[in-house]
Amino acid sequence: MRILIVDDDDELSSLLTELLAREGFRVECYNDGRRGLAAALTGSFDMLVLDVMLPGLDGFEILKRVRRESKLPVLMLTARGEDEDRIVGLELGADDYLPKPFNTRELIARIRAILRRLEPRDTAGKLEVNGILIDPGSREVYVGSTPVEVTTFEFDILEVLMRAAGRVVSRDELMEELYGRKATPFDRSVDMHISHLRKKLEQDKPLIKTVRGVGYQFVRTPDEGIAA
């Protein structure tokens, strides 16, 4: 797995390069936004670790441009306490975020959690619920016959919810399934991904219902059975 780090903290980048190399990753670092963006768009990397504050182009602009052309998984690094930065990053399509300063073991755990979504897995064929069709093999999503572009994490959240259609899936279940960690009251990652899915999928009817204080439910039509 090849990881691209775009961060203007040279000391941190060197430390992460050494640590990730020990974990078996190949790492390339850039401390300038424009060069980092060019590298991200080459298609040569499996994941991007992206700082918000950068010279040349900031992390948000890089993320916007990457999302126009790529589904490359992105982990944003934000300043601790900057909740707005985290929300903006998720709105723009980041898969997850980690506030600085962070424990390096936690960074590696989050990287592995994101990359696990890319591993080949057994697929059980296409699944259709309430007019939404997903194909786990090709990771394609259709509203009726119209294809819809979704990110890696959006697809995985949608698949979990659709396989449990009619039942409520808790935020903790989703966080454990997708990120390998428990949800916290301030963790907005799942909520933002679901907000994106609603905008992309819901046209004339609600599909993903929020059950306040519990989690989310993918709505099924009356003639559709509840998944086991």
pLDDT, tens digit, 9 for 90 and up, residues 10-30:
999 999 999 999 999 999 999
- Which pTM does this prediction carry? 0.72
| Per-residue model confidence as pLDDT tens digits over 60-85 | 999 999 999 888 999 999 876 667 87
φ/ψ region of 10 (left if φ > 0, alpha if ψ in -120 to 50, else beta) reads: alpha
Q: Are 192 and 91 within 8 A, CB to CB?
A: yes
Other CB atoms within 10 Å distance of the CB of residue 212: 5
Encoded amino acid at 63, one letter: L
| Per-residue model confidence as pLDDT tens digits over 143-196 | 988 999 988 888 989 999 999 999 999 988 888 888 777 777 667 788 888 999
pLDDT band of residue 228 (cuts 50, 70, 90) is very low
Percent of the chain with pLDDT over 70: 92
Sketch out the chain's domains with CATH numbers.
2-116 (3.40.50.2300), 127-218 (1.10.10.10)
